[in-house]
Structure 1
Amino acid sequence: MPELRVGERRWSVPVGSNLLDSLNQHGVSVPYSCRAGSCHACLVQCTQGLPSDSRPDALSAEQRQQGWRLACQCQVIENLQVHAFDPHQDGRPAEVVAVDWLSSHVLRLRLIPQRPLRYSAGQHLVLWAGNVARPYSLASLPGEDRFLEFHLDCRQPGAFSDAARQLQIGDSLRLGELRGGALHYDADWHTRPLWLLAAGTGLGPLFGVLREALRQDHQGAIRVIHLAHDAGEHYLAKPLQAMAASRPNLSIELWTPTELPAVLAQLRLVSRQTQALLCGSPDSVDAFARRLYLAGLPRNQLLADVFLSRG
Structure 2
Amino acid sequence: MPELYVGERHWSVSTGSNLLDALNQAGVAVPYSCRAGSCHACLVRCRGEVEDKHPDALSPAQRQEGWRLACQCQVSGDVRVETFDPLRDGLSAQVVGVDWLSSNVLRLRLQPERPLRYRAGQHLVVWAGRVARPYSLASLPQEDPFLEFHLDCRQPGEFSDIARQLRVGDRLRLGELRGGALQYDPDWQTRPLWLLASGTGLGPLWGVLREALRQDHQGAIRLIHLAHDADGHYLAGPLAALAAHHSNLTVELWTAPQLNQALAQLRLVSRQTLALLCGHPVSVEAFSKRLFLAGLPRNQLLADVFLPRG
Please state if 1:225 is matched with 2:220. no
| Structure 2 equivalent of residue 13 of structure 1 | 13
Structure 1 distance, partners of 2:290, 2:23, is 38
Structure 2 distance, partners of 1:304, 1:255, is 19
| Structure 1 equivalent of residue 258 of structure 2 | 259
Structure 1 distance, partners of 2:41, 2:18, is 16
| Structure 1 equivalent of residue 60 of structure 2 | 61
Structure 2 distance, partners of 1:306, 1:257, is 18
Gaps of 5+ in 2: none
Q: TM-score under structure 2 normalisation?
A: 0.99
Q: TM-score under structure 1 normalisation?
A: 0.99
Structure 2 distance, partners of 1:50, 1:144, is 45
Structure 2 distance, partners of 1:69, 1:5, is 15
| Structure 2 equivalent of residue 137 of structure 1 | 136
Structure 2 distance, partners of 1:250, 1:240, is 9
Structure 2 distance, partners of 1:209, 1:260, is 23
Structure 2 distance, partners of 1:16, 1:258, is 42
Which stretch has the larger CA shift, 50-59 or 161-170?
50-59
Alpha-carbon shift at residue 17 of structure 1 (Å): 1.1
Alpha-carbon shift at residue 58 of structure 1 (Å): 1.1
**3-state SS of paired residue (2:144):** coil
Please state if 1:191 is matched with 2:190. yes
**3-state SS of paired residue (2:222):** strand
Structure 1 distance, partners of 2:5, 2:188, is 47
Structure 2 distance, partners of 1:188, 1:107, is 34
Alpha-carbon shift at residue 50 of structure 1 (Å): 3.1
Cα shift readout 1:129-167 (whole Å, capped 9, x = no counterpart) = 000000000000002100000000000100000010010
Structure 2 distance, partners of 1:273, 1:307, is 27
| Structure 2 equivalent of residue 127 of structure 1 | 126
| Structure 1 equivalent of residue 50 of structure 2 | 51
Gaps of 5+ in 1: none
| Structure 2 equivalent of residue 114 of structure 1 | 113
| Structure 2 equivalent of residue 32 of structure 1 | 32
Structure 2 distance, partners of 1:310, 1:173, is 21
Structure 2 distance, partners of 1:157, 1:71, is 25
Structure 1 distance, partners of 2:231, 2:77, is 52
| 1:44 partner amino acid | V
| 1:33 partner amino acid | S
| Structure 2 equivalent of residue 270 of structure 1 | 269
| 1:264 partner amino acid | L
Counting matched residue pairs gives: 310
Structure 2 distance, partners of 1:249, 1:228, is 23
Alpha-carbon shift at residue 78 of structure 1 (Å): 1.0
| Structure 2 equivalent of residue 245 of structure 1 | 244
Structure 2 distance, partners of 1:310, 1:212, is 30
Alpha-carbon shift at residue 302 of structure 1 (Å): 0.3
| 1:53 partner amino acid | D
Alpha-carbon shift at residue 285 of structure 1 (Å): 0.2
Cα shift readout 1:41-85 (whole Å, capped 9, x = no counterpart) = 000001x21311111111111111111101011111111111000
Structure 1 distance, partners of 2:183, 2:157, is 28
**3-state SS of paired residue (2:209):** helix
| 1:117 partner amino acid | L
Structure 1 distance, partners of 2:49, 2:146, is 39
Which stretch has the larger CA shift, 106-115 or 21-30?
21-30
RMSD: 0.8
Structure 2 distance, partners of 1:109, 1:93, is 15
Please state if 1:215 is matched with 2:185. no
Identity %: 76
Q: Which runs of 4+ in 1 moved over 4 A?
A: none
